[in-house]
């Protein structure tokens, strides 16, 4: 939404899509054209992206609300795998929002994770699904993959942290599927949009970590524990079902291309 707003303001022709008809007016407000596009309608996805100069693929399921690994696998298949496969078959100039989940827990060692770090082989649905769509997109030499933190924050329409935590606490019974020692990174939505602008403007290709790395990231246990305490909630129990990096993530490659994280 932020990227579309910037590009239409700059005079670009932007077609925005959403699978949710209720969101269509919001998308139409910042795009030149807007349409409802179900994730599983691969024929329409191919037709839409084939007639564009390029496409930005920004889609991921709300996995915190899926309770089992099987539900998470199905969520990815429904909302992401087919859509990206269809887009990659019809368009060479793609920018994909991926996730640092592809690194799993980061493996042994203390060095920062870079774009050269091997992706995990752990059977985590998030890691395997994002790795799969990255491979689809990177079959094109004109494509770029941006590995973001799971939490894109800061938009004025986002619910407050205590509202999100209360919802999670109730929906998941006070448990979270993460490792308590995993590092929690967040990125402001404006920085995420600016990263795409830079990649497109410079016609950059390949993989880029887009993770604010100037300040050490807190662990899930300390970060979410403090938020829960501030909201007056009992502590969460971490089950460790989902992997996330325990080693710091470096965005030196993107910064070397001229990018600066502006918003904390």
Write down the pLDDT at residue 65: 46
Under DSSP, the state recorded for 117 is S
104-137: buried (b, 16+ CB within 10 Å) or exposed (e) per residue? bbbeeeeebbeeebebbeeebbbbbbbbebbebb
Closest listed residue to residue 208, CA positions, set 162, 143, 128, 111: 143
The answer to whether position 86 is within a domain reads yes
The answer to whether position 124 is within a domain reads yes
Residue 100 near residue 185, CB atoms below 8 Å: yes
Q: Over the Cα atoms of the chain, what is R_g?
A: 18
Question: For 96, left (φ over 0), alpha (ψ -120 to 50), or beta?
Answer: beta
The answer to whether position 41 is within a domain reads yes
Write down the pLDDT at residue 88: 96
Secondary-structure breakdown of the chain: helix, strand, coil percentages, each rounded to the nearest 5: 40, 15, 40
Residue 126 parent element (H or E):
helix 125-137
The answer to whether position 32 is within a domain reads no
End-to-end Cα, the chain, rounded Å: 20
Report the DSSP beta bridge partners of residue 96: 57, 145
- Number of domains the chain contains: 1
Write down the pLDDT at residue 220: 92
CA dist., res. 242 & res. 263, Å (int): 28
Write down the pLDDT at residue 178: 84
The answer to whether position 250 is within a domain reads no
Write down the pLDDT at residue 63: 52
Return all residues near 129 (Cβ < 8 A) that are at least 6 apart.
73, 76, 77, 80, 81
Domain coverage including residue 205: 37-158+186-214
Look up the CATH number of the domain holding residue 139. 3.40.50.720
The answer to whether position 74 is within a domain reads yes
The answer to whether position 163 is within a domain reads no
Residue 253 near residue 115, CB atoms below 8 Å: yes
The answer to whether position 19 is within a domain reads no
Q: What is the chain's pLDDT, residue by residue, as a tens digit (264 residues)?
A: 999 999 999 999 999 999 999 999 999 999 999 999 988 899 999 999 999 999 999 987 665 545 566 777 777 777 788 999 999 999 999 999 999 999 999 998 889 999 999 999 988 888 888 999 999 999 999 999 999 998 899 988 888 888 888 888 888 788 888 899 999 999 999 999 999 999 999 999 999 999 999 989 999 999 999 989 998 989 999 988 778 999 999 999 999 999 999 997
Under DSSP, the state recorded for 231 is T
């Amino acid at each position: 939404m932020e990227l579309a707003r910037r590009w239409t303001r700059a005079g670009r022709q932007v077609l925005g899509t959403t699978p949710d008809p209720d969101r269509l007016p919001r998308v139409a407000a910042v795009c030149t054209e807007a349409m409802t596009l179900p994730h599983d309608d691969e024929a329409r996805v191919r037709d839409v992206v084939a007639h564009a100069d390029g496409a930005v693929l920004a889609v991921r399921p709300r996995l915190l609300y899926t309770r089992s690994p099987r539900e998470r696998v199905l969520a990815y298949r429904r909302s992401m795998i087919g859509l990206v496969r269809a887009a990659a078959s019809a368009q060479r100039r793609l920018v994909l929002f991926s996730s640092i989940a592809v690194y799993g827990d980061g493996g042994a060692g203390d060095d920062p994770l870079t774009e050269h770090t091997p992706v995990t082989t752990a059977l985590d649905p998030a890691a395997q699904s994002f790795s799969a769509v990255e491979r689809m997109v990177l079959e094109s030499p004109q494509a770029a993959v941006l590995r973001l933190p799971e939490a894109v924050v800061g938009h004025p329409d986002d619910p407050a942290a205590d509202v999100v935590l209360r919802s999670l606490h109730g929906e998941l019974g006070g448990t979270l599927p993460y490792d308590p020692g995993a590092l929690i990174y967040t990125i402001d939505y404006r920085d995420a949009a600016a990263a795409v602008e830079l990649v497109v403007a410079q016609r950059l290709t390949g993989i880029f970590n887009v993770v604010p790395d100037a300040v050490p990231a807190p662990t899930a246990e300390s970060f979410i524990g403090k938020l829960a305490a501030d909201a007056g909630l009992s502590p969460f129990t971490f089950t460790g079902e989902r992997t996330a990096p325990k080693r710091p993530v470096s965005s030196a490659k993107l910064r070397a291309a001229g990018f600066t994280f502006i918003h904390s």
